[in-house]
Chain A
Amino acid sequence: MPAPDIRQQLAQAATDRRRPDGTAYHSLSSVAVQQLARGMDCSHRWVEQTALAMEIIPERYSRNMSTFSAEDQHRLLNCTACIVGVGGLGGSVAEMLARIGVGCLRLVDGDHFEDSNLNRQRFADAASLDQPKVQVARKRIAAINPATEVIALSERLTGDNGSAIIGDADIAIDCLDTLQARLYLQTACRGKNIPMISAAVAGVSGQITVFYPEDEGLTTLYGDLASATDRGAETTLGNLTFAVNLLASLECSEAVKILLGRKTTLRGRLLIFDLTDLAFDIVQLAE
């Protein structure tokens, strides 16, 4: 006997629920997603996308509504983000994008976790020390959202592997810690014609902006790149967890807006902050 149609199974598995404001919606529990994926031998992502196309909201995304529509949520599940650097910024960005429901994450980092990462890096804990960062991240993300596919690339971005690392990503998120690596990423993004979100932190200060391939790019932040130093004020001030996570949140917010085609982003503008005196500024990068 042929398996019953997935749509019929989804309609049966869906329940009627209400949002905290009273709005009614059709909901699909994570257990139901898992059972359907197993029963049909297909991915969680496919089950969730099929449900969303029927206006059935996987319950794990219910609190993304109504900031996101079912169509937005479906679109995010189609997207791939390349997160380059899976340390302080990258670990938190990866977790947030998985929770929000981005369908595929390409995680790039050649390092292993070490003691000095424990003050801020999302996936660093006692058990993960000496383990490859991207492998630890892959396991944690699979446990958080099985619908998010993770491609773990345990390697360093260089001048030669940028195109292969970016793959078919729709966007790249700079979570790196050297200017040289950022330059490689910018070159790779230009080659692939995709936007790049760039952030950097030092102590309790940070900066974030968005570059498109045709923009002036990193020189607007670091000046003449030939004379720029590879690292910055963080060598003196360190990296504090709340500054790192604030920036990671901003990177995710910008990434989601870009993936959903929303207009107002930090393109052409730089947000900088210093939490010492709560100074937040948005600087126009070109007149």
Chain B
Amino acid sequence: MSLHITLKLFATLRPYAPEQADRYAIDPGTTVADVVRELNIPAKDAKLIFINNIRKEHDTLLQDGDRLGIFPPVGGG
């Protein structure tokens, strides 16, 4: 059985978004780190992870219906 999440990639990470980012299929047991790897996002650019608007770590297990956001480090002033 496949689960689905919504993926939201910001700034320099936008080009890594898959076609069906609003209904991205994952297997049960998939973590944030697995998705980052699948999408070929450089780990150093996936610094700020949030699921359903709460900051989480890379080893967090994803659940059906989660909204996963990934924000790269930004530093400009």
- Chain A contact residues, CB within 8 Å of chain B: 85, 87-90, 174-179, 182, 199-203, 205-207, 220-223, 227-234, 236-239, 244, 270, 272, 274, 276, 279, 281-287
Contacts and interface: CB of A to CB of B under 8 A. Distances in A.
Interface in B8-67: 8, 10-12, 14, 44-45, 47-48, 50, 53-55
A230 B75 contact: yes
A276 B14 contact: yes
B61 to A, nearest CB: 15
Contacts, number: 107
A229 B44 contact: yes
Nearest to B46: A223
Contacts of A279: 8, 10
A58 to B, nearest CB: 31
Interface of B: 8, 10-12, 14, 44-45, 47-48, 50, 53-55, 69, 71-77
Given A221-B48, A229-B44, A279-B10, A234 B55 contact: no
A29 B58 CA distance: 58
B11 A237 contact: yes
B77 A233 contact: no
A180 to B, nearest CB: 10
Given A207-B74, A229-B44, A283 B11 contact: no
Contacts of B71: 205, 207, 272
B12 A236 contact: yes
Contact of A202 (B8, B44, B69, B74): B74
Of listed B12, B14, B69, residue having the most chain A CB within 10 A: B12
Contacts of A203: 11-12
